[in-house]
Amino acid sequence: MAVPMKYKKMKDFRKYYSGNKTAPVLTIFVGGNHEAMNYLKDLYYGGWVAENIYFLGYSGVINIDGLRIAGVSGIHNGSDCKKGYFEDYPYDRSEIRSAFHTRQYEIMKLSLVKEPIDIFLSHDWPTVVGDLSDFRMLTRIKPFFKKDLQNHCLGSPFLSNLCDILQPRFWFAAHLHIHWEVDIEHKDRFGDHDGSRVTHFMSLDKPIINRGFMDILSIQSREKAKNEEIDNYKRLYSSMKKFCPSNFEVVSDVDAQSDSSMPEEAEGEGEFYKICLLLSYYLLKILPSFSTNMLINFSQLLD
């Protein structure tokens, strides 16, 4: 493990490894630059390092309840990235370090993934994050980033490329010991957004009190989010039917696109109501602070 001697202390991971303790929630991780790479290499393709703690491997993709999570281990090093895995046990001083350098091969493997990724995990940052960041603010907190930021080489250029190919909804990283967030905009290659797609990047700080080392996000799979949206849409349509004139039917785009039951004379009026309903629906989405109360009022109207 490549760490100064003062940090080489036996802490609590052995309790999880031996089964005396169990992680309270499913924990998924990638390797960084302070791992026991000789152990992680035994799980090159990923696997359970302890109950409820899963290593994504040197690179990998998993699917949890419809949520697709991909990741790559290690950090970027320009001279080792194009090499194979030449390290052999016992690792010497140089191999202890080269063992955690990300190989370009892992990036290329992930770049071939065709299905959309929801969450990407890396230890290193994609260099594009530095390029998109507020230079003055970032260098005020971390002055020693200045040279790398000016040279556009803070982090890994390969991860930047990969981010633009995979276009995950979220990208989580670490390594630079700062809580930092940036939105990365891409030209949508999946065709399910109008024009562009955004990756929300977030890096966490070191786990020290009063530092931003933890965040909690609620992320749904694309499938679930889509179904929920359709359910809301259907519910709103059916609820508003009672406010429409009795001589026409409100037609839902979702489940009755070819419904021919609407009388011709009412079509124009129906379209008007339909537009109103859509506007109401999107207004509810745009005004989150009011939406909960308004939705409750809507549901009371239904009952």
What is the smallest separation between the CB atom of 32 and Fe ion, expressed in angstroms? 4
Which range touches Fe ion (CB under 5 A), out of 27-35, 39-47, 239-247, 276-284?
27-35
Q: Which is nearer to Fe ion, 118 or 124 (CB)?
A: 124
Which range touches Fe ion (CB under 5 A), out of 9-17, 32-40, 183-191, 279-287?
32-40
Exposed / middle / buried, residue 188 (Cβ in 10 Å: 0-12, 13-18, 19+): middle
Q: Are strands 67-72 and 59-64 parallel, antiparallel or unpaired?
A: antiparallel
Q: Which of residues 38-77 bind Fe ion (CB under 5 A)?
A: none
What is the smallest separation between the CB atom of 22 and Fe ion, expressed in angstroms? 26
| 3-class secondary structure, 98 | helix
Which range touches Fe ion (CB under 5 A), out of 51-59, 94-102, 113-121, 170-178?
170-178
What x-and-dash track marks residues 117-156 binding Fe ion by CB under 5 A?
Answer: ----------------------------------------
Q: Which is nearer to Fe ion, 117 or 174 (CB)?
A: 174
Q: Which is nearer to Fe ion, 37 or 250 (CB)?
A: 37
In one-letter notation, the amino acid at residue 63 is N
Q: Which is nearer to Fe ion, 193 or 206 (CB)?
A: 206
Q: How far from each other are the two terminal CA atoms of the chain, in whole angstroms?
A: 63
For 266-290, letters b (16+ CB in 10 Å) and e give beeebeebbeebeeebeebeeeeee
- Cβ-closest residue to Fe ion? 175
Q: Which is nearer to Fe ion, 33 or 167 (CB)?
A: 33
DSSP single-letter state for residue 42: G
CA distance 57 to 40: 8
- Residue of 29, 32, 36, 222 interacting with Fe ion (CB under 5 A): 32
Q: Which is nearer to Fe ion, 68 or 123 (CB)?
A: 123
CA distance 292 to 174: 35
What is the smallest separation between the CB atom of 131 and Fe ion, expressed in angstroms? 20
Which range touches Fe ion (CB under 5 A), out of 168-176, 194-202, 205-213, 266-274?
168-176
Confirm if 222 and 228 have CB atoms less than 8 A apart. Answer: no
Q: Which is nearer to Fe ion, 169 or 175 (CB)?
A: 175
Residue 175 binding Fe ion, by CB under 5 A: yes
What is the smallest separation between the CB atom of 144 and Fe ion, expressed in angstroms? 15
What is the smallest separation between the CB atom of 38 and Fe ion, expressed in angstroms? 18
| Angle at CA of residue 211, ends 10 and 15, nearest 5° | 25
The string of DSSP codes covering 183-245 is EEEEE-SSS-SSSEEEEEEEE---S-TTS----------HHHHHHHHHHHHHHHHHHHGGGS-
Confirm if 73 and 39 have CB atoms less than 8 A apart. Answer: no
The CA-based dihedral angle spanning residues 47, 104, 125, 182, taken in that order and rounded to the nearest 10 degrees: -100
Q: Which is nearer to Fe ion, 174 or 236 (CB)?
A: 174
Instruction: Point out which residues bind Fe ion (CB under 5 A).
Output: 32-33, 175
